Structure 1
Amino acid sequence: MTGLDNDTIGVIGVICMLLLVLSGVRIYIAAAAVGLVGLVSMIGWDAGAGMIGTIPHSKAVSYTLSVLPMFILIGYLAFHAGITQALFDAARKWFGFLPGGLAVASVFATAGFAAVSGASTATAAVFSRVAIPEMLAAGGTLATLIPPSAILVIYAIIVEESVGRLLLAGFIPGIVSALIYVLIILVWAKISPGIGPAIKGYTWSDRIKSVPGTMPVISVVVIIFSAMYLGWATPTEAGALGAFVVFLMALMKGMRYDALKDSLLETAKLTVMIFSLIWGVLIFVRFLGFAGLPEHFTQFITSLPFEPWVVMLFILLGYVILGMFMDAIGMLLLTLPVVYPAVMALGYDPIWFGIIVVKMAEVCLVTPPIGLNCFVVSAVRPDIPVSTVFRGVGPFVVADFLTVAVFLIWPEVITWLPNQMMN
Structure 2
Amino acid sequence: MDPVTLGFIGVGLLVALIVIGVPVAFAAAVIGIGGLWYMRGIDTAIGLSGIVPHATSTSYELSVLPLFIAIGFLALHAGITRGAFQAARLWLGRAPGGLATATIFASAGFSAVSGASTATAAVFTRLAVPEMEQRGYDRALAAGVVAVGGTLAALIPPSAILVIYGILVEESIGRLLLAGIIPGIISMAIYMVVITIVVKRNPSLAPSLEPVRMIEKLKSLTQVWGILAVVGVILGGVYFGWMTPTESAAVGTAIILSIAATRGMRLVDLKAGLLETVKTTAMIFMVIWGVLVFVRFLAFTGMPAMVTDAVLELDVAPWVILMGVILLYLVMGMVLDGLGMLILTLPVIYPAIIALGYDPIWFGVLVVKMIEIGLITPPVGLNCYVVHGVRPDIPLEQVFRGVAPFLVGEVVIVAILVLFPEVVLFLPDTMMN
- Equivalent position of 1:64 in the other structure: 61
- Equivalent position of 1:235 in the other structure: 245
Q: Distance in 2 between matches of 1:347 and 1:179?
A: 30
- Opposite residue 79 of structure 1, the aligned amino acid is L
The 3-state SS of whatever aligns with 2:54 is helix
- Equivalent position of 2:272 in the other structure: 262
Q: Distance in 1 between matches of 2:279 and 2:88?
A: 31
Q: Which is worse superposed, 373-382 or 65-74? A: 373-382
What are the superposed Cα offsets for residues 352-409 of structure 1, whole Å, 9 maximum, x if unpaired?
Answer: 1111010001011111222111111112222212221122111122222211111111
1:113 to 110, 115, 123: 110
Tell whether the 8 Å contact from 2:240 to 2:432 is kept in structure 1 after alignment: no
- Opposite residue 351 of structure 1, the aligned amino acid is I
Q: Distance in 2 between matches of 1:68 and 1:152?
A: 10
**TM-score, with length taken from structure 1:** 0.97
Are 1:248 and 2:245 an aligned pair? Answer: no
2:235 to 225, 231, 234: 225
The 3-state SS of whatever aligns with 1:24 is coil
1:362 to 364, 372, 377: 372
Q: Distance in 2 between matches of 1:198 and 1:66?
A: 46
- Opposite residue 271 of structure 1, the aligned amino acid is T
Tell whether the 8 Å contact from 2:154 to 2:162 is kept in structure 1 after alignment: yes
Q: Distance in 2 between matches of 1:196 and 1:329?
A: 35
- Opposite residue 240 of structure 1, the aligned amino acid is A
Q: Distance in 2 between matches of 1:398 and 1:278?
A: 33
- Superposition pairs of residues 124-203 of structure 1, within 5 angstroms: 124-131=121-128, 132-203=142-213
Q: Which is worse superposed, 38-47 or 195-204? A: 195-204
Q: Distance in 1 between matches of 2:14 and 2:74?
A: 37
Q: Distance in 1 between matches of 2:119 and 2:346?
A: 25
2:220 to 210, 213, 231: 210
1:399 to 409, 412, 420: 409
Tell whether the 8 Å contact from 2:11 to 2:344 is kept in structure 1 after alignment: no
Tell whether the 8 Å contact from 1:152 to 1:167 is kept in structure 2 after alignment: yes
Are 1:324 and 2:334 an aligned pair? Answer: yes
Structure 1 residue runs without a partner (length 5+): none
- Superposition pairs of residues 259-408 of structure 1, within 5 angstroms: 259-408=269-418
1:17 to 8, 14, 34: 14
Are 1:51 and 2:61 an aligned pair? Answer: no
Tell whether the 8 Å contact from 1:115 to 1:221 is kept in structure 2 after alignment: yes
* Residue 143 of structure 1, CA deviation: 0.6
- Equivalent position of 2:81 in the other structure: 84
Q: Distance in 2 between matches of 1:65 and 1:371?
A: 28
Tell whether the 8 Å contact from 1:277 to 1:330 is kept in structure 2 after alignment: no
Q: Distance in 2 between matches of 1:96 and 1:238?
A: 34
- Equivalent position of 1:73 in the other structure: 70
**TM-score, with length taken from structure 2:** 0.95
Tell whether the 8 Å contact from 2:199 to 2:206 is kept in structure 1 after alignment: yes
Q: Distance in 1 between matches of 2:4 and 2:400?
A: 40
Q: Distance in 2 between matches of 1:315 and 1:307?
A: 13
Q: Distance in 2 between matches of 1:91 and 1:81?
A: 18
- Opposite residue 218 of structure 1, the aligned amino acid is L
- Opposite residue 12 of structure 1, the aligned amino acid is I
Tell whether the 8 Å contact from 2:24 to 2:340 is kept in structure 1 after alignment: yes
What are the superposed Cα offsets for residues 37-92 of structure 1, whole Å, 9 maximum, x if unpaired?
Answer: 11111111111221112111111111111111111111111111111111111101
Q: Distance in 1 between matches of 2:113 and 2:185?
A: 14
- Equivalent position of 2:131 in the other structure: none
- Equivalent position of 1:8 in the other structure: 5
- Opposite residue 301 of structure 2, the aligned amino acid is A
Q: Distance in 2 between matches of 1:268 and 1:335?
A: 28
